[in-house]
Amino acid sequence: MSEYGITKSSVGRKILMALSGFFLLVFLLQHFAINMLSVISDDAFNTVSDFMGYNPLVQFALQPVLIFGVIFHLAMGMYLEFQNTKARNKKYAKNNGAANSSWMSRNMIITGVMVLLFLGLHFYDFWWHEITEKYLEGGAESFTGSGRDTTRYSHELQEKFVDIWRVIIYCLSFVFLSLHLLHGFQSAFQSVGFRHSKYTPLIKKLGTAYAIIIPAGFIFIALFHHFNH
Ligand code: HEM
């Protein structure tokens, strides 16, 4: 370890954290685009959902990579936070972080855990429902079966947002997601060592736009289905 408590492996871990963050940013963008279809056209949403839900490449290659990405990001986040707290406690009697860092950057672990709690509920609501539908209740043949109902997705999604409490919990979670992304987006670029006098300010603006537009869009989707059922 160097004098500053920075080791090669801690830099490596931050880079891996950033790479898994980039991957999740891309996932979230496509997830948002697909879910926006549910607002625009039931047919389009059903077609894309059925493709994503039954395409072997998506199901057996991309989905496991995604699940791994989520777990990795979470575990590495916890580990890095633990290491940071240890290093801070050693060096300073008092942590005066507010003087030179934002609330978001100091509370990534809190906003991250809130998003994680949301994911627990969200997996139960949608992902687990899909798994039981395809592999457990229907059996393996329902996965390949051509007689499956390809129009169920839009109304199943709408039914989830009838319950006002679920809508409130989802919308609050999207606010935490926004706070997480407000720091996370630009921090990922810093962690991979990207610094440029012209592009860094642009990335910060892009990060702010992403962190506001995507969660606000998710809030819109949840409210839309609640009030249009
Ligand atoms: C109104 C907002 C949202 C809606 C309507 C929605 C809808 C869905 C649906 C229908 C599925 C099931 C896909 C399937 O397995 O066939 C799903 C899965 C998933 N969602 Fe969301 N989602 C929303 C927001 C979010 C957010 C904000 C995140 C991340 C922070 C997220 C992360 C995931 C993940 C990781 C999966 C499992 C992977 C997959 O199967 O595609 N979702 N969501």
Residue 217 belongs to a domain with what CATH number? 1.20.1300.10
Domain count, the chain: 1
Q: Is the CB of 126 under 6 A from ligand 1?
A: yes
Beta-carbon-side half-sphere exposure of residue 137 (alpha carbons within 13 Å) = 6
Q: Is the CB of 148 under 6 A from ligand 1?
A: no
Q: Is the CB of 66 under 6 A from ligand 1?
A: yes
Whose C-alpha lies nearest to ligand 1, atom 15? 127
Question: Range of 148's domain?
Answer: 8-90+106-227
Q: Tell me, yes or no, whether 98 lies in a domain.
A: no
What is the three-class DSSP state of 223? helix
Residue 117 near residue 5, CB atoms below 8 Å: no
Q: pLDDT, tens digit, for every residue of 56-97?
A: 999 999 999 999 999 999 999 999 999 888 887 776 655 556
pLDDT at 6: 56
Q: Tell me, yes or no, whether 45 lies in a domain.
A: yes
Q: pLDDT, tens digit, for every residue of 111-126?
A: 999 999 999 999 999 9
Residue 177 near residue 112, CB atoms below 8 Å: no
Task: Return the minimum-mean-pLDDT range out of 40-49, 81-90, 91-100, 150-159.
Answer: 91-100
pLDDT at 134: 80
